[in-house]
């Protein structure tokens, strides 16, 4: 039926099938990745049958991949903490929220990531043996017919629709900065030895800037969230054929991980795949824009400000710059200087 603006509005359920898997890879001696899938309406975070296929309820669904760093047990601790803290915040605060609007859901997702960062940062300060630990996180929240993504680092989310795979997230990495600045092509960035330098992670610094994006879902969409152990060796263009040939999501996850391992398995490999169907979704259109789209939250109420940083985080009202990001800016400046020297040398010769 059409709404007041003449747009089609579907009435009916949204069905999601989901599966996730993580693998050590071929070169690492322990796994620092974590994933989570949850039905927020029932409070069930598991791979039990009732979660692997469920109807999206009034509180939505949550899918997450986190890629830890820090060595020894620090990386796996950071990624596990991130997944647990983000889920618990949404399963308690959001579940009890009187305002169940999509904008409020997106706000609570962003808030959950910020609070997780504070907790991980505070834990590392109190435990010197894991000082400096951190993790990426890509959290995908489904609210009705809409997908919201909260991103820190370089784990990725892709949407497979109409036989094409589109990247929904943007890496918070040095190489992505250089691509955005026109200094490198995407192909050159993928081959760079510095492609794993990220500018932001949960844990190393008291404040983070959450990249919050949005994508309307359509019937037949498949969402793939993965760590760079998969995206670094399996190309985006390969995803549609693999989705087509593996309709069972457990088989799809296995096939993606097997492909990464066949190409060396240079890192831990983690993937979550979710497929969306149901009368609540419209069919996809070839004219729709799909891809990275920043979601701007409405003006925050006084009690909706970003959570305070832990004690000692810096001057009040002035968020400290990220040490990870500062190193990234320094490398970016260095790369620009090298390029300038090369141009001047070429002109002189």
Going by C-alpha positions, the residue among 254, 158, 236, 223 that lies closest to residue 17 is 223
Which one of 6-20, 67-81, 169-183 scores highest in mean pLDDT?
Answer: 67-81
Assess contact for 272 and 20: CB atoms under 8 A: yes
Summarize the confidence of residues 325-342 as an average pLDDT.
47
The structure tokens 């009890």 sit at 96
Supply the pLDDT for residue 344.
Answer: 44
Share of the chain above pLDDT 70, in %: 81
Rounded to the nearest 10 degrees, the angle between the axes of helix 74-89 and helix 102-126 is: 150
pTM value > 0.95: no
Q: Residues 117-156: pLDDT tens digits? A: 999 999 999 999 998 899 999 999 999 999 999 999 999 9
Supply the pLDDT for residue 174.
Answer: 84
Confidence of residue 33 (pLDDT cuts 50, 70, 90): very high
From the candidate CATH numbers 3.40.50.150, 3.40.50.11780, 3.60.40.10, 3.90.1150.10, the one assigned to the domain spanning 15-348 = 3.60.40.10
Q: Residues 239-259: pLDDT tens digits? A: 999 999 999 999 999 999 999
CA distance 65 to 21: 10
Supply the pLDDT for residue 318.
Answer: 28
Q: Residues 172-211: pLDDT tens digits? A: 978 878 877 887 777 777 766 666 789 999 999 999 999 9
Q: Residues 86-109: pLDDT tens digits? A: 999 999 999 999 999 999 999 999
Residues 6+ apart with CB under 8 A from 205: 117, 121, 320, 321, 322, 323, 324, 325
Summarize the confidence of residues 299-319 as an average pLDDT.
43
Give Cα 146 to chain centroid, integer Å: 16
The CA-atom distances, in angstroms, between 210 and each of 157, 169, 306 are: 15, 12, 11
CA distance 114 to 63: 17
Q: Is the pLDDT of residue 234 over 80?
A: yes
Question: Which three-class secondary structure string do you get for the chain?
Answer: CECCCCCECCCCCCEEEEEEEEECCCCCCCCCEEEEEEECCCCEECCCHHHHEEECCCCCEEEEEEEEECCCCHHHHHHHHHHHHHHHHHHHHHCCCCCCCHHHHHHHHHHHHHHHHHHHHHHHHHCHHHCCCEECEEEEEEECCEEEEEEECCCEEEEEECCEEEECCCCCEHHHHHHHCCCCCHHHHHHCCCCCCECCCECCCCCCCCEEEEEECCCCCEEEEECHHHHCCCCHHHHHHHHHHCCCHHHHHHHHHHHHHHCCCCCCEEEEEEEEECCCCCCCCCCCCCCCCECCCCCCCHHHCCCCCCCCCCCCCCCCCCHHHHHHHHHHHHHHHHHHHHHHHHHHC
């Amino acid at each position: 039926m059409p709404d007041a603006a003449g747009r089609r509005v579907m009435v009916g359920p949204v069905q999601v099938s989901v599966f996730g898997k993580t693998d050590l890879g071929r070169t690492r001696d322990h796994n620092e990745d974590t994933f989570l899938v949850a039905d927020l309406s029932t409070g069930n975070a598991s791979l039990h049958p009732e979660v692997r296929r469920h109807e999206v309820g009034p509180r939505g669904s949550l899918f997450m991949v986190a890629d830890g760093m820090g060595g020894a047990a620090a990386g796996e601790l950071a990624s596990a903490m991130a997944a647990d803290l983000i889920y618990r915040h949404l399963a308690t605060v959001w579940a009890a929220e009187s305002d169940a609007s999509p904008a409020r859901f997106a706000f609570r997702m962003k808030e959950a990531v910020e609070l997780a960062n504070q907790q991980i940062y505070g834990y590392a300060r109190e435990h010197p043996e894991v000082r400096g630990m951190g993790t990426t996180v890509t959290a995908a929240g489904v609210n009705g017919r809409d997908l919201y993504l909260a991103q820190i680092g370089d784990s990725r989310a892709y949407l497979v629709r109409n036989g094409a795979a589109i990247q929904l997230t943007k890496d918070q990495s040095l190489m992505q900065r250089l691509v955005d600045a026109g200094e490198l092509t995407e192909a050159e960035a993928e081959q760079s030895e510095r492609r794993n330098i990220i500018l932001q992670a949960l844990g190393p610094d008291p404040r983070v800037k959450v990249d919050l994006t949005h994508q309307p879902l359509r019937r037949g969409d498949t969402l793939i969230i993965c760590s760079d152990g998969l995206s670094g060796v399996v190309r985006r263009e390969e995803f549609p054929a693999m989705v087509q040939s593996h309709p069972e999501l457990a088989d799809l996850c296995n096939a993606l991980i097997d492909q990464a391992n066949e190409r060396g398995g240079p890192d831990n490999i983690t993937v979550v795949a979710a497929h969306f169907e149901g009368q609540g979704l419209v069919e996809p259109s070839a004219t729709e824009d799909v891809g990275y789209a920043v979601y701007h939250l409405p003006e925050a109420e006084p009690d909706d400000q970003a959570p305070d940083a832990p004690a000692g985080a810096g001057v009040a009202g002035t968020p400290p710059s990220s040490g990870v990001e500062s190193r990234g800016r320094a490398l970016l400046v260095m790369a620009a200087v090298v390029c300038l020297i090369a141009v001047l040398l070429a002109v002189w010769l």
